[in-house]
Chains A and B, each alone.
Chain A
Amino acid sequence: MLTKDLIGQVANATGLSKKKVEQLLTTNNAIMRETLMAGKAVQLQGLGTLEVKEKKERAIVHPRTGERKIIPSKKQLVFRPVANLKDELKKI
């Protein structure tokens, strides 16, 4: 499903206009991005948490050339679903 379809569905469910929903969605995304950029997590009730995780640096060996390398530490955006939802979707 693409953003457009989702906007349509949300508009149907709430009775808000599509334009309004689109505006809300973009603002919401902007807020989330800014929050995540600052290193804070975003809690989405009933859905999960979007958070920034620090990945430690690690050493790897290239399987073909045998070359050793160090991958520097980095930050990664991860989504952690709520336990409820996780279980619910497992069975589908």
Chain B
Amino acid sequence: MADNKLSWTELRRALANRAGVTEKEANLFLNAFNAQLVEALKSDKQVKINGLGIFRLQTVAPRKSVNVASGEEITIGEYNKIAFVPEAGVKELVEKGLQPSAITNKAAEPVDPIQKLGAQAEEIVDLLGELGQGTKEPSAVSNQPAEKPKAKKAKTKAKAEEPKAEIEEPSAVSIQPSEPVVEEPSAVSIQPSEPVVEEPSAVSIQPSEPVVEEPSAVSIQPSEPVVEEPKAEEPKEAPKKQYHFMRDTLICVVILLMLLLVGYFFLRTQISSWIESLMKDEPKVEMVAEPVVEEPEIVIVEEPEEWTYDELLLTENIAEGSRLAWISKKYYGNKVYWPYLYEANKDHIDNPSLITVGTPIRVPKLSAAEKDTTTAQFQQLKAKAYEKVGMLAN
């Protein structure tokens, strides 16, 4: 059991190490965290922790049961239970999670990069053989010159590779005296054109990274080496992206300015023509006024279909990680009333499932009749709100 569980002390120690604090501080934090979590569960009934999941206090409704011994009917009273829902990412991680066997097999993994290195070393030998006329050189010898030039250019990379070269062909290292090896690379590197020197270095960057990083990463993910490889290319792309970003924003600003200008002129001509028509046709406007009076009546007939609220409880700015259902639960006690919130705020919310942090949400007061979820009005609101989500989600 002890092997299969991260105990409180171990967690505290790991946290202190990783976060760079004293164990005392880590302990203080963990204790306070647990205490506050319980307090929050009691007061708010749900606590969301980013990067982990949601703890929720669920109420289990009373139910009838039968006493198995006597056959009597009994009721099991209402009670609360703690439910934990892991975050989507965490859930996925756990589902994929490493098998215990995979953890013990870790030792076998570091061999792969070395094999890769070996294969690449052979390629380099072939290249050198073609370009540098290295027919005389045995493979073991040409392996080393391929890596030595790098040692001059980038010492750090070479440090990681040299020991591996020794692991691959220890016999070769011991047989060959060091002096000829040093001489040969210079001969080899002069003969072939520059691309040859560059190529091996480009090739070698890939194996070197996974090898250096794996010891730390092995315990976490087996697939990490694959993820790590593209890193070599990223730095080159970064400045380009920045440049693109600058250009895009410039274009956007120019377009906006043009739109504003066009809009301004359009509005000015519209307004001036409208004022002219008013000045000219004043008597006509009076004539038109009568039928206009009828129109509002029709509008008034339409309005009751749309739900409006009389009293505003308060306005809350939406916080990070919050949503309409969350606010609904907070103020109305149930998340099903969120369509009302959407309806009350739809003038500035387009998609109820995509609200920017900080958006003010008007929370109207709901009457008892409005809290009845079976009414046609609520069903209509609900259908509308859900349709909005579905339409925009698809």
Contact present for A30 and B51 (CB under 8 Å): yes
Measured in the bound complex, the distance between the Cα atoms of B5 and A35 in whole Å is 9
- Given known contacts A2-B320, A4-B320, A26-B51, A47 and B40 CB-to-CB distance under 8 angstroms: no
Q: Does B95 contact A (CB under 8 A)?
A: yes
Measured in the bound complex, the distance between the Cα atoms of B220 and A38 in whole Å is 8
Contact present for A6 and B36 (CB under 8 Å): yes
Q: Does A60 contact B (CB under 8 A)?
A: no
Contact present for A79 and B19 (CB under 8 Å): no
Q: In the complex, what residues of B have CB within 8 A of residue A35's CB?
A: 6
Instruction: Please name the residue on chain A nearest to B39 by beta carbon.
Output: A9
Stretch of B75-83, B189-197, B301-309 that contacts chain A = B75-83
Contact present for A77 and B94 (CB under 8 Å): yes
Number of interface residues of B (CB under 8 A): 64
B39 to chain A, nearest CB (A): 7
Q: Which of A27, A45, A48, A74 contacts B19 (CB 8 A)?
A: A27
Contact present for A6 and B5 (CB under 8 Å): no
- Given known contacts A10-B29, A45-B34, A1 and B40 CB-to-CB distance under 8 angstroms: yes
Instruction: Please name the residue on chain A nearest to B94 by beta carbon.
Output: A77
Measured in the bound complex, the distance between the Cα atoms of B15 and A32 in whole Å is 10
Measured in the bound complex, the distance between the Cα atoms of B85 and A78 in whole Å is 8
Contact present for A85 and B98 (CB under 8 Å): no
What 1/0 flags go to B29-71 for Cβ under 8 Å of A?
1111111111111111011111111010100000000000000
Q: In the complex, what residues of A have CB within 8 A of residue B44's CB?
A: 1
Contact present for B94 and A24 (CB under 8 Å): no
A residues with a Cβ closer than 8 A to B are: 1-6, 9-10, 13-14, 16, 20-21, 23-52, 74-79, 81, 85-86, 89-92
